[in-house]
Amino acid sequence: MLQTLAHYGTHIFLPLVVALVFYPNRWKTAFFIMLSCILIDIDHVLATPIFNPNRCSINYHPLHSYWAIGVYFLMLVFKKTRLLGIGLLIHIIADLVDCSFM
Handedness of CA 44, 8, 69, 19 (dihedral sign): positive
Distance CA 90, CA 14 (A): 7
User: What global pTM score does this model have?
Assistant: 0.91
pLDDT of residue 74: 98
Average pLDDT in the 68-82 region?
Answer: 98
Average pLDDT, the chain: 93
Sequence-separated (6 or more) residues with CB below 8 Å from residue 79: none
CA–CA–CA angle 62, 82, 46 (5° rounding): 15
Whether the Cβ atoms of residue 90 and residue 37 lie closer than 8 Å to each other: yes
Domain range list for the chain: 2-100
pLDDT at 4 over 80: no
pLDDT of residue 8: 81
pLDDT band at 45 (very low <50, low <70, confident <90, very high): very high
